[in-house]
Amino acid sequence: MIIITGGAGFIGSNIAKALNNRGETNILIVDNLVKGKKMLNINDLDIADYMGKEAFLERIQSDDDFGGKVQAIFHQGACSATTEWNGKFIMENNYDYTKSLLHWCDRHKAQYLYASSASVYGAGSVFKEARQNELPINMYAYSKFQFDQYIRRFKPQVPQQIVGFRYFNVYGPREQHKGTMSSTAFHFHNQINETGVAKLFAGIDGYDNGEQRRDFIYIDDIVDVNLWFLDHPEQSGIFNLGTGRSESFNDMAKAVIKWHGKGKIDYIPFPDHLKGAYQSFTQADITHLRESGYRKAFRTVEDGVRCYLDAMTRDSK
């Protein structure tokens, strides 16, 4: 069996779909479906079972073996809101829960592949997996950073695979449930459809209007790396998972406008509540990932947006 926490979410449901495409259906999806529209992410999947997060955590804490051999846990479940400042809530959901799964995998010799985040680098300009580059600036980032620190201490003691992926700005199908936390590609697409105008933030931190830059990575590339590590259990570590390129929000908006064949850009004032807690630049150093043996190229924003919006068009028919 393969277990995917956050399996009805954006990345988790895409991993499950890719496993289905490989013929794997012995999958346990774990999630919280209080927001029932997330069901739309899993209604086309073939899985062995679904379990709510609370019931799953109880079984993890009681050391249940889930009826047999678990090959791997893809731990994608978390509170991903970078604007959430309830530290107790964030640490219980993103840190304590993640540790519980880690120790269960250790006891049951299962591969453990978990979602970290590029947010651990904060407002820094060096995005390489090293402690001196890490200074989180919000609670979400701190929870991810602290677990990575825990792994650095824990991994030398155990032989089985433990892999953390520092996701950069991921976009693609099955993210529609995320609301304000959905990607800019998703929001720009909807804005062009509704008003013909993509709204970008005005300049801040020395960047011109819309020229804040991020390492945007398409979901299929994220999934491909996850499954490559599943197939290579000898590889462990904490890895940046981005393209290695930074592209501007203007680039993203222009790619969406190009796909639509219409539209324009408008700039809005930068929100006060994001000042001091916003990354204006990210660009993954993927040297460590390449050294692991993963060699495939990553899509550009223009290529990724085309794949994304083509898929959205197909799905709406």
Output the DSSP codes for 129-194.
SSGGG----SHHHHHHHHHHHHHHHHGGG--S-EEEEEE-EEE-TT-GGGGGGS-HHHHHHHHHHH
User: What is the amino acid identity at position 20?
Assistant: N
The reported pLDDT for the residue numbered 244 is 98
Q: Tokens 């799953």 sit at which residue?
A: 56
Cα angle vertex 292, ends 290, 294, to 5°?
A: 55
Closest CA to 169 of 41, 292, 277, 10: 10
Burial (Cβ within 10 Å: 0-12, 13-18, ≥19) of residue 259: buried
CA distance 297 to 275: 34
Residues 123-148: what's their mean pLDDT? Answer: 94
Residue 69: is its pLDDT beyond 80? yes
In the chain, % of residues over pLDDT 70: 99
Closest CA to 103 of 138, 154, 53: 154
Task: Report the chain's mean pLDDT, rounded to a whole number.
Answer: 94
- Is the pLDDT higher at 74 or at 281? 74
Active site residues: 140, 178
Residues 229-236: what's their mean pLDDT? Answer: 98
Query: For residue 279, what pLDDT band results from cuts at 50, 70 and 90?
Result: confident
Tokens of 284: 């993954």
User: What is the amino acid identity at position 99?
Assistant: K
84-88, 155-159, 287-291, range with greatest mean pLDDT: 287-291
Residue 224: partners with Cβ closer than 8 Å, 6 or more residues away: 18, 296
CATH number for the domain whose boundaries are 176-212+246-280+306-315: 3.90.25.10
pTM metric for this prediction: 0.94
Q: How far is Cα of residue 252 from the mean position of the Cα atoms in its chain?
A: 18
Residues 82-109: tens digit of each pLDDT: 778 899 999 999 999 999 999 999 999 9
Residues 44-73: what's their mean pLDDT? Answer: 95
Residue 276: is its pLDDT beyond 80? no
* Residue range(s) occupied by CATH 3.90.25.10 in the chain: 176-212+246-280+306-315
Residues 58-75: what's their mean pLDDT? Answer: 95
* Residue range(s) occupied by CATH 3.40.50.720 in the chain: 2-171+216-245+283-299
Burial (Cβ within 10 Å: 0-12, 13-18, ≥19) of residue 270: middle
186-199 residues labelled b (16+ CB within 10 A) or e (exposed) = bbbbebbeeeeebe
Where are any strands of DSSP class E within 196-316?
Answer: 197-201, 213-214, 216-218, 237-241, 247-248, 264-268
DSSP 8-state class, residue 10: H
Fold classified for 2-171+216-245+283-299 = Rossmann fold (3.40.50)
CB 120 within 8 A of CB 140: no
Would you mind telling me the total number of residues written for the chain in this entry? 317
Helix (H, G, I), strand (E, B) or coil at 250: helix
The reported pLDDT for the residue numbered 317 is 60
CB 204 within 8 A of CB 280: yes
Residue 154: is its pLDDT beyond 90? yes
User: What is the amino acid identity at position 119?
Assistant: S
